[in-house]
Amino acid sequence: MSLETQAEAAATRRAWALVSPALVILTVAAAGPLLIVLVYSFLTPGKYGNVVWEFSTDGWMGILYTKDIFDDTLKLADAHLTIFWRSVKLSLLTTGLTFLVGFPTAWFIATRPPKARAMWLFLITIPFWTNLLIRTFAINEVIRNEGLFNTVMIKLGLFSEPLRIINTDAAVLMGMTYVYLPLMVLPLFAAIDRFDMRLLEAGYDLYASRLQVLRRVILPIVRPGIVAGSILVFVPSLGAYVTPRVLGGGKNMMIGNFIELQFGQGRNWPLGAALSISLLMIVMVALLVYVRAASKENSHG
């Protein structure tokens, strides 16, 4: 073995030695709790919470099926499936709305002069300085029955009585769109900022319409930003807890609220653990889609 190879091997060992404490902490702090949740999902629920250390698949069966209290027959858990469908539906709608609002916003910021661009980016990042709960209560003050929106509409004579928005899926959708909008704008801005504006001129010179330029020139080039922003919005909105709890009033639950209910009032920790792992699997699938899309972009340069 040459001296150069020995030096490279020593540098590699030294690098692994330096990074090993961080790897151990990450493994214990991240994988450890997930392993505990996975084990709990295969145990028997206790009468007053906690678990009984007896193997059982009732937690996983409880995701899709419920037992009849009289004859223990299994029937489809319609309520559970409704909550799953509502969570996925609202997360997809939130992703779509944030894109519809965030794309023009990101384009506007990216086409400003450098000094003005910095100011607009500063304004976009300001909501991150505020706690999520405070932002949720802020949008609640706008859309509640006696809130700003209804007050203005009634004074203008557009409504005769307050429009009931709070405690509905629409309220949750509006709240999550407001909360997660910056997570869509920033990746889109990063992608648009690298966009070569001369391509627009080339498209117009070839007699392309504005819609054709958007579909065939702009969107394909900024696609990595669209995918990244969509993942950044979809993943946290799928597991949202605070926003559905405040704006949904506890009636329009999502997966995060349902999991909390099982560990709290429901006292069914194995079901809550199974739901948590199921949510993690959905998020992993979404991340794999993003990684695959990103790898395709890299392979095409």
Is-contact 270 251, C-beta < 8 A? no
How do residues 39-50 score in pLDDT, each as one tens digit?
999 998 888 778
- Ordered DSSP codes for the chain: --HHHHHHHHHHHHHHHHHHHHHHHHIIIIIHHHHHHHHHTTSEEPBTBSEESS---HHHHHHHEEE-TTT--EEE-HHHHHHHHHHHHHHHHHHHHHHHHHHHHHHHHHTS-HHHHHHHHHHHHGGGGS-HHHHHHHHHHHHSTTSHHHHHHHHTTS-SS----TTSHHHHHHHHHHHHHHHHHHHHHHHHHT--THHHHHHHHTT--HHHHIIIIIHHHTHHHHHHHHHHHHHHHHT--HHHHHHSTTTS--HHHHHHHHHTTT--HHHHHHHHHHHHHHHHHHHHHHHHHHHHHHHT-
How do residues 107-154 score in pLDDT, each as one tens digit?
999 988 888 888 898 888 888 888 888 888 889 989 888 888 888 888
Q: Is residue 198 part of a domain?
A: yes
Q: Which domain holds residue 195?
A: 78-299
Structural domains counted in the chain? 1
pLDDT at 294: 65
pLDDT at 299: 55
How do residues 86-96 score in pLDDT, each as one tens digit?
999 999 999 99
Q: Is residue 199 part of a domain?
A: yes
pTM score, two decimals? Answer: 0.83
Q: Is residue 96 part of a domain?
A: yes
Q: Is residue 277 part of a domain?
A: yes
CATH of the domain at 106: 1.10.3720.10
Q: Is residue 48 part of a domain?
A: no
- Measure the CA–CA gap between 283 and 76, rounded to whole angstroms: 24
Q: Is residue 98 part of a domain?
A: yes
How do residues 206-252 score in pLDDT, each as one tens digit?
888 888 888 888 888 888 889 889 989 998 999 898 899 888 887 77
